[in-house]
Amino acid sequence: MPKKKKFKVAENESLGECLERMRGEGYQPVRRMEQPVFIERDGERVVDHQEIIFEGKRVESQTDN
Protein backbone atom coordinates (compact mmCIF):
# COMPACT_ATOMS: atom_id res chain seq x y z
CA MET A 1 0.00 0.00 0.00
CA PRO A 2 1.16 3.55 -0.63
CA LYS A 3 2.60 5.48 2.31
CA LYS A 4 0.47 8.54 1.52
CA LYS A 5 -3.03 8.75 0.10
CA LYS A 6 -5.53 11.55 -0.48
CA PHE A 7 -9.09 11.28 0.78
CA LYS A 8 -11.77 13.59 -0.62
CA VAL A 9 -14.76 14.33 1.61
CA ALA A 10 -17.76 13.11 -0.39
CA GLU A 11 -20.77 15.35 -1.01
CA ASN A 12 -23.02 13.61 1.54
CA GLU A 13 -20.24 12.70 3.99
CA SER A 14 -19.29 14.50 7.20
CA LEU A 15 -15.68 15.24 8.14
CA GLY A 16 -15.91 12.66 10.91
CA GLU A 17 -17.12 9.99 8.51
CA CYS A 18 -14.23 10.72 6.15
CA LEU A 19 -11.75 10.49 9.03
CA GLU A 20 -13.28 7.15 10.10
CA ARG A 21 -12.93 5.88 6.52
CA MET A 22 -9.26 6.90 6.60
CA ARG A 23 -8.67 5.05 9.87
CA GLY A 24 -10.47 2.02 8.47
CA GLU A 25 -8.00 1.91 5.59
CA GLY A 26 -5.04 2.30 7.97
CA TYR A 27 -4.22 5.99 7.49
CA GLN A 28 -4.04 8.96 9.82
CA PRO A 29 -4.59 12.54 8.66
CA VAL A 30 -1.47 14.70 8.34
CA ARG A 31 -2.78 17.56 6.19
CA ARG A 32 -6.11 19.19 5.34
CA MET A 33 -6.52 21.06 2.06
CA GLU A 34 -9.43 23.11 0.79
CA GLN A 35 -9.94 24.25 -2.76
CA PRO A 36 -12.82 26.13 -4.36
CA VAL A 37 -15.10 24.46 -6.88
CA PHE A 38 -16.24 26.90 -9.55
CA ILE A 39 -19.38 26.90 -11.68
CA GLU A 40 -20.34 29.21 -14.49
CA ARG A 41 -23.37 31.39 -13.76
CA ASP A 42 -24.55 34.11 -16.14
CA GLY A 43 -21.27 33.96 -18.05
CA GLU A 44 -19.14 34.39 -14.91
CA ARG A 45 -17.16 31.87 -12.92
CA VAL A 46 -18.32 31.86 -9.31
CA VAL A 47 -17.42 29.69 -6.33
CA ASP A 48 -20.03 26.98 -5.76
CA HIS A 49 -18.49 25.31 -2.70
CA GLN A 50 -15.22 24.31 -1.05
CA GLU A 51 -13.82 20.84 -1.63
CA ILE A 52 -12.05 19.34 1.40
CA ILE A 53 -9.25 16.82 0.90
CA PHE A 54 -7.26 15.09 3.64
CA GLU A 55 -3.80 13.69 3.04
CA GLY A 56 -3.28 10.55 5.04
CA LYS A 57 -0.08 8.85 6.14
CA ARG A 58 0.01 5.07 6.48
CA VAL A 59 -0.04 3.96 10.12
CA GLU A 60 2.54 1.28 10.72
CA SER A 61 1.28 -1.30 13.17
CA GLN A 62 3.77 -1.92 15.93
CA THR A 63 4.09 -5.28 17.66
CA ASP A 64 5.56 -5.87 21.06
CA ASN A 65 8.55 -8.21 21.18
Is there a domain that residue 25 lies in?
yes
Q: Does any domain span residue 34? A: yes
Range of the domain at 50: 4-58
The type of residue at 6 is: K
Reference 48, options 35, 36, 65, 61; nearest CA is 36
- Residue 10 in any domain: the answer is yes
pLDDT at 64: 46
How many domains are contained in the chain?
1
Residues in the chain where the model's pLDDT stays below 50: 64-65
- Indicate the residue type of 53: I
pTM > 0.85: no
Q: In what order do the strands lie in the sheet with 27-41?
A: 4-8, 44-58, 27-41
Neighbours of 9 (CB within 10 A): 19
> Does 65 fall in a domain?
no
Q: Residue type for 4, please?
A: K
- φ, ψ of residue 17 in degrees (nearest 5): -65, -40
